[in-house]
Every structure is written in structure tokens, then in C-alpha cells.
Chains A and B, each alone.
Chain A
């Protein structure tokens, strides 16, 4: 049996053939045992498929069934949060938070300056110098004040400051 003949049998079974072809196939089946056997197999196969996949029927109407799905979708959708009423306290808290942080930082800075940076304040030096050529020099980074005397009398202060000529006391 050719493939085309097999397809004609399938079409006969599905009642897809024209009336003339249907009559020809019926006559062919009457005289051909193989074709009759194949038709029987095809019929059994179709029956098995139909029994295996029975059509599902909804227990309620289609409209009611889809209305249930729609309600479920709407129920699970996120609900927009209702607008919260802003109380005066929340505004105060919003202001206090950054203000408190700034105040804490400022206090920490003041404490640091007070306890560790006291020496950084400029030192006021009042000098009365008998020497017109003398000068006062202040080095804040080294933390020292230098008064430099230049008039000749002061050179004798050390009196040739070698060990022999700069006695202590």
C-alpha cells in the first residue's frame, strides 16, 4: 500500500473526501483486506486519543469563570499607599535630625580644639626692648618666641662664650 493510499484512508476516516472518492474508497475497502485492516487500526487509534483526552467542561459559565480570574488579579495587584497625614512632630523631627548631627559635629570640633588644640591659639607677646635694633619673632608652628638682641653691649653677655670664658654663675 502506498503512502498516498494510506492518506486516502485517513481522509476517508475523517470524512474529508468528496462523495465520489468516498464511494471509490468504500469499493476499494470491500475488496482489499489490508486496507480494511489499516482502516480498523486508524479508527482504534482515533478512539484511543479521544478517550485519553476528554474535553474538560467548566462547572460554571465561561463569563463567571473569567470574572473569578479577574477578581483574583485585581485582588493581588499592589494597592497604592494612602497619603499619610503629616503631623507637626514629623516636621520637627525632620529638622532635628540634620540639626542634631551638625550640632554634634560642631561640639566634637569644639572639644577637639579645646582639649588638643589649645596651643594653636596665637600667643600675644609684649616685649619692651632697650635695644633699638632688636626684634621679636614668633613661630607658631614651632611654638616659640625669639627675641633677638643686636646691640653691642649684649655681645658681652656671653663674654666670648667658649667653655673657659662663659662661666656658669
Chain B
């Protein structure tokens, strides 16, 4: 290979590497967050009317340190957010969440229990990542609020 050819290869390789970082023109800063209220239990048949959580999410939760085998979706919300927009959504009678689009896939998540702020989390939430807030519930079960970015 001649040095000239190497230079050409390097040039094209550099050009190929640019789109990953130079595509903000297509990025409007908007994002859509899917929020799910999940109930975890070891009882395989608590109620036939319950909707089983998606297989991907269930699989991730089962492979986490959590001790529950079955996960059911109690509620789901799609939250569309413009840049720097904050929206508050009620997930259940006692569970209210607030999500803010901070830009660059960064979100701020607040969880309120019975009107009281329980926690605030700020982190990057690119597609494919999950932000899960949970806690113990009655009868050795658990609740989870799962956030993820969707198209």
C-alpha cells in the first residue's frame, strides 16, 4: 500500500467517524419517555386480569438483584417532552412522577409518594437504558416505576 493510498483511507475513515458526533441538526431535543408502574411478586397467578410486563423488561428485572419472579404492568404512560420541559404524571392513587428533559438524553426524575417528594434522580437515559425506582410493598411484593426512552 502506498502512502498516498493510506492517506486516502485515513481521510475516508475520518469522514465516516464524523456523523456520530456531527448530527445535531437532526436532533430537535425532543424525547419521549415511557413510564411504567410495575408490580413484582413471587405469586405466579395473583389475578388473571393482570397484564404481564413485557418480556424484555421482565427478563432484565429477573436478571437483576431483585428476588421476584413475576412482574405485572399496572399502568403505563408515554410522556413527550420538549427540551427543558417538565411534565408531571399520575401513575397511581399514591404515585406521582415528574420527568424533565434536560437535553442530550439527560433526564431529571422525581417521584412523589402521597404528595411527598421521595427522590430525585438526574442521569443520562439513552435508548435501551432503564431508570428504575422501586420499593417494598405488602406481602413481600414490590412496586417499580420504570422509565425508558422510546421513539
A residues lining the B interface (CB < 8 Å): 92-93, 96-97, 100-101, 103-104, 107-108, 110-111, 114-115, 118-119, 123-131, 134, 136-137, 139, 142-150, 153-163, 166-169
Give a binary string over B87-100; 1 marks a CB under 8 Å from any A CB, 0 the rest.
Answer: 00011111100000
**What B residues does A92 contact at CB under 8 A?**
3
**What B residues does A101 contact at CB under 8 A?**
6
Residues of chain B in range 38-91 having any CB-CB distance to chain A below 8 Å: 39, 46-47, 49-50, 60, 63-65, 74-75, 90-91
Give a binary string over B16-40; 1 marks a CB under 8 Å from any A CB, 0 the rest.
Answer: 1100110000000000000001010
Mind listing 25 A-B residue pairs with CB under 8 Å? A96-B3, A100-B9, A104-B10, A107-B10, A119-B128, A123-B123, A124-B124, A130-B116, A136-B121, A142-B64, A142-B130, A145-B123, A145-B131, A149-B118, A149-B133, A149-B134, A153-B116, A154-B118, A154-B135, A156-B113, A157-B92, A161-B74, A163-B46, A168-B92, A169-B75
B103 → chain A, closest Cβ, in Å?
Answer: 15
B residues lining the A interface (CB < 8 Å): 1-3, 6-7, 9-10, 13-14, 16-17, 20-21, 37, 39, 46-47, 49-50, 60, 63-65, 74-75, 90-95, 111, 113-114, 116-124, 126, 128-139, 141, 143
B52 → chain A, closest Cβ, in Å?
Answer: 13
**What A residues does B50 contact at CB under 8 A?**
163
Whether B47 contacts A158 by the Cβ 8 Å rule is no
CA distance A126 to B108 in the complex (A): 9
| Besides A161-B74, A162-B47, 9 new A-B residue pairs in contact (Cβ under 8 A), listed by A number | A100-B1, A128-B121, A146-B134, A147-B131, A157-B137, A158-B138, A163-B46, A166-B39, A169-B90
